[in-house]
Chains A and B, each alone.
Chain A
Amino acid sequence: KAGVTQTPRYLIKTRGQQVTLSCSPISGHRSVSWYQQTPGQGLQFLFEYFSETQRNKGNFPGRFSGRQFSNSRSEMNVSTLELGDSALYLCASSLNRGEGYTFGSGTRLTVV
């Protein structure tokens, strides 16, 4: 059974650019959540999608957005990148929004 797949693994962008990250959940999982991990702030919740609808959103500016497709794959987008957006972005999927969230390996974004 394939795990959660995140692409790309590494990304370098320039300030002001935008970026799109992709997450393919485990087959059959309908809930996809996104987290930002930084040394200073730790793991912070970005948003959650379930059946193509955003169900929860964390305390991030509107530059951070996401969506989920009918096959449960999800993308997150960050516009007008800032140096502080440099982080490991992790995606997690779950069958029923509760038991056992499985995480992907993450996308490491560096903004220069």
Chain B
Amino acid sequence: GEDVEQSLFLSVREGDSSVINCTYTDSSSTYLYWYKQEPGAGLQLLTYIFSNMDMKQDQRLTVLLNKKDKHLSLRIADTQTGDSAIYFCAEKGPGNQGGKLIFGQGTELSVKP
């Protein structure tokens, strides 16, 4: 089945690291994505990882992929108040559903000064 799960809320202090977790069910997924959504805006692609990778780093963002446990995480180093937003994990649909993204419910990150 297709299902992506995320915790709903995360609160951190400015300057700390944030870790947002996600689990997915489709072991054949080839791409996994992290998107950010600010109030009243669309989705901003933060980063994505191909399923044959374990880790991807892009400036303050680190993505870790554990294929065995179907677990994906996004670490934001030195979290700033401007990082407050909803973060969505998504997996690319399998096989002939390649153009479909399956999203989690989103994790609302609150960064306190």
Contacts and interface: CB of A to CB of B under 8 A. Distances in A.
Contact of A97 (B44, B45, B98, B105): B98
Nearest to A4: B42
Q: Chain A at the B interface: mostly helix, strand, loop or mixed? A: strand
Contact of B105 (A33, A42, A92): A42
- 4 closest A-B pairs by beta carbon, nearest first, are A48-B99, A103-B43, A43-B103, A105-B42
Interface residues of B, number: 25
Nearest to A90: B42
A45 B44 CA distance: 17
Nearest to A58: B100
Interface string B94-110: 00111111111110000
Given A42-B105, A45-B102, A101 B93 contact: no
Contacts of B80: none
Given A42-B105, A42-B106, A43-B88, A102 B45 contact: yes
B42 A33 contact: no
Contact of B48 (A55, A100, A105): A100
| Chain A interface residue bracket vs B | 20 to 34
Interface of A: 4, 6, 31, 33, 35, 42-43, 45, 48, 50, 55-56, 58, 90, 92, 94, 97-106
Contact of A98 (B44, B92, B102): B92
Given A42-B106, A43-B88, A101 B97 contact: no
A90 B97 contact: no
A45 B88 CA distance: 14
B28 to A, nearest CB: 13
